Amino acid sequence: MSVHLFADEGLPKGPTWNDVQLLLANTKGDHPKDIRDHAIIMLFAIYGMRVGEVRGLRLEDLDWAKELIYLTRPKPRRRQSYPLSYIVGEAVLRYLKEVRPRTTWREVFLTVKAPFRALSSGSLYDVVSDRLRDLGVSLPHYGPHSLRHACATRLLAEGLSMKAIGDHLGHRKADTTRVYAKVDMAGLRQVADFDLGGLL
């Protein structure tokens, strides 16, 4: 007989927030690739963006006057706006001013060497994967989606509701977000310690 596996059996596979902070610290520098990658990793970790969303981010999606960033979520296929946080805005602005070449490409993130072109999904995967592996952390998956998991887990730890986390990540259904409740060990312990009194 085969072992029965329940839906959402596994926990989300992402680095700890301490690992994410270390990852960001390791991209702080004056090398063009570090400046670019620092901004990219912030978008994955703080906004929980998908690869396609970072790849498709265009210059017109950044509203500096209103301090907003616009995303076209692929699954619900709708445009969402988010407050552009100061640290993310500063990282992206530094990249645009110091690194991004003058070109007709409208995508924000480009290769750092000629011929300049928009980054591919594989290149974005490598940006995160290579740097996470260099940290020596043990993970089942090293790509950008692991940072999306780290983002969701951190928001849960900060006390955000499952709906708020789902909205932040662009989830259409609450079921997509519920898996992150499994990593809230402190919350689960409170449930386990709850005194039911004479209810049983």
Residues marked active site are found at: 50, 75, 145, 148, 171, 180
SS3 state at 72? strand
Question: Structure tokens of 16?
Answer: 């700890």
- Each as own residue / partner, the long-range contacts of residues 16-24 (CB below 8 Å, 24 or more positions apart, any chain) are 16/150, 17/150, 17/153, 17/154, 17/157, 19/132, 19/135, 19/137, 19/150, 20/45, 20/147, 20/150, 20/154, 22/135, 23/131, 23/132, 23/135
Q: How far apart are CA 151 and CA 147, in angstroms?
A: 6
Half-sphere exposure of 189 (CA within 13 A, CB side): 4
SS3 state at 10? coil
Q: Enumerate residues 6+ apart whose C-beta is below 8 A from 142.
A: 128, 129, 132, 133
Locus of tokens 């990249």: 95
